[in-house]
Structure 1
Amino acid sequence: MQIFLDNILDSHTLKAITDSLSNDALYEDGKKTAGRTARRVKSNLQARPDAVEVKGALKLIEKALMNHPVFKAAALPQKFAKLMINRYGPGMQYGTHVDDPIIAGTRTDLSFTLFLSDPKTYEGGELVLCKHDGEEKVKLPKGALTLYPSTTLHHVAEVTEGTRIAAVGWVQSRVRLAEHREILFDLHTALAQLPDTDENLEARMQTLKAKSNLTRLWAD
């Protein structure tokens, strides 16, 4: 299951984060954190995790995600494996790869990209998801996010003009299997769409019962 979320951050926080990440000195070669195979296809820059500005930005992003009701319902996050900031300039790209199954000792069930650059300011740079029915190119507005299974082959297309900055991260879910998470998200959505009225009380209770019991059955 893949979802798209707009306005993860309020406008003031988004501006503060992007302004704080504008300093070239914050970035280093992205190959430093790539595995042996990914290192061959990775050409980007990463914000230094020890920099005060980067720590502050990632803390704000993590807090916003953990407080976002739809993100929580879709990911059922147990914890984040890692968050980082990537930057792509002209000629940079990240070839086809699959994310590591374990990052920082944490299983990666879901990956996300939070776009921090206005898409009008750069050319190329799409996140390309390789699916059984073909490729899906994703290039979202500034402040929007896509969440998708970490099992997905994907790549970042070459940036031909401008600069693309994004936050990426990985989540360990309380529910391991993607199929189970999708069912629970469907039930969450059904409850949200079913008016909380007296006439719907029985239907809501039965739906909530199913959601609760399946969560209990499937949760790690």
Structure 2
Amino acid sequence: MLLHVPNVLSKDQVQSIRQAIQQDNQWVSGKKTAGSQAIKIKNNLQIDIESELYQQLSQFVIQNIKKSLLVQSFALPNEILLPMFNCYQDSGNYGNHVDNAILYMNEKGKNVRTDVSMTIFLSEPDEYEGGELIIEDTYGAHEVKLDAGDAIVYPATSLHRVEPVTNGARIAAFTWIQSMVKDDWQRTMLFNLDMTILKLRQQLGDSEEVVALTSHYHNLVRQWGDL
């Protein structure tokens, strides 16, 4: 399941990030963080993860991710890796690939399983041509190009790519989440149940039936959760 999450960052926050990036200009080749397969198909720029700019921006963005109730409900985060930042321009692209199953979390000194992928767009759609994020699942290929500040969240098991940017620049933040529930189908069921409970609470308040459904939700999290 794919989820569009609006306004993970406000327009003012996006503008502040873009200004900081433009002033410091810490772009390096994206191949620097690519594996043996990805290095052949990855053609983009990334902010140097050793830079002070990266440390500041990644901490700022991750705090806003943690504030998103939709992200919390959809992904049920156990760990969120510090976001990275990329730029596609001058026909930059990233061919079909699946993200690594395990990534190292430097700040906590441990490995993290990547259950959920997340991209936050930092460029408006009319600032560049091409650059669509294409995500493939059992229902086909989904083309994603969102407003700046909006995010797409999807299973990290998905085959995906970024189409060539033929004009302008596509800037984005991206990260991965280790969920408390590693199975995508179970996470989807829990998300749908949580959204249904929320709507029923708005209509009925905390009725006996709503409380019972809420109890079922939390018991399923206990049953399926992996901490």
**Category of TM-score, reference length = shorter chain:** over 0.9
Structure 1 residue 191, shift from structure 2 partner: 1.3
Structure 1 residue 127, shift from structure 2 partner: 0.3
- Tell me, in whole angstroms, the C-alpha distance in 2 between the residues paired with 1:197 and 1:190: 11
- Structure 1 unmatched ranges of 5 or more: none
Match of 2:186 among 158, 180, 186: 180
Aligned to 1:18: 18
| Pairing 1:216–2:222 present | yes
Q: Deviations over 1:170-199 (max 9, x none)?
A: 000011101111111111101110135777
| Pairing 1:43–2:43 present | yes
- Tell me, in whole angstroms, the C-alpha distance in 2 between the residues paired with 1:82 and 1:24: 19
For the 8 Å contact 1:82–1:103, the answer to whether it is kept is no
Aligned to 1:9: 9
Backbone CA RMSD of aligned residues: 1.5
| Pairing 1:145–2:151 present | yes
| Pairing 1:195–2:201 present | yes
- What TM-score do you get using the length of structure 1 for normalisation? 0.95
- Tell me, in whole angstroms, the C-alpha distance in 2 between the residues paired with 1:179 and 1:64: 26
Tell me: CA distance 1:178–1:198, structure 2 relative to 1, closer, same or farther (3 Å): closer
Structure 1 residue 147, shift from structure 2 partner: 0.2
Match of 1:205 among 202, 211, 219: 211
- Tell me, in whole angstroms, the C-alpha distance in 1 between the residues paired with 2:190 and 2:140: 27
Aligned AA (1:143): G
- Tell me, in whole angstroms, the C-alpha distance in 2 between the residues paired with 1:134 and 1:179: 17
Structure 1 residue 25, shift from structure 2 partner: 3.1
- What TM-score do you get using the length of structure 2 for normalisation? 0.92
Tell me: CA distance 1:214–1:90, structure 2 relative to 1, closer, same or farther (3 Å): same
> How many matched pairs?
220
Q: Which moved more, 1:170-179 or 1:187-196?
A: 187-196
> Quick one: percent identity of the two aligned structures?
35
Structure 1 residue 135, shift from structure 2 partner: 1.7
- Tell me, in whole angstroms, the C-alpha distance in 1 between the residues paired with 2:190 and 2:131: 33
Aligned AA (2:133): L
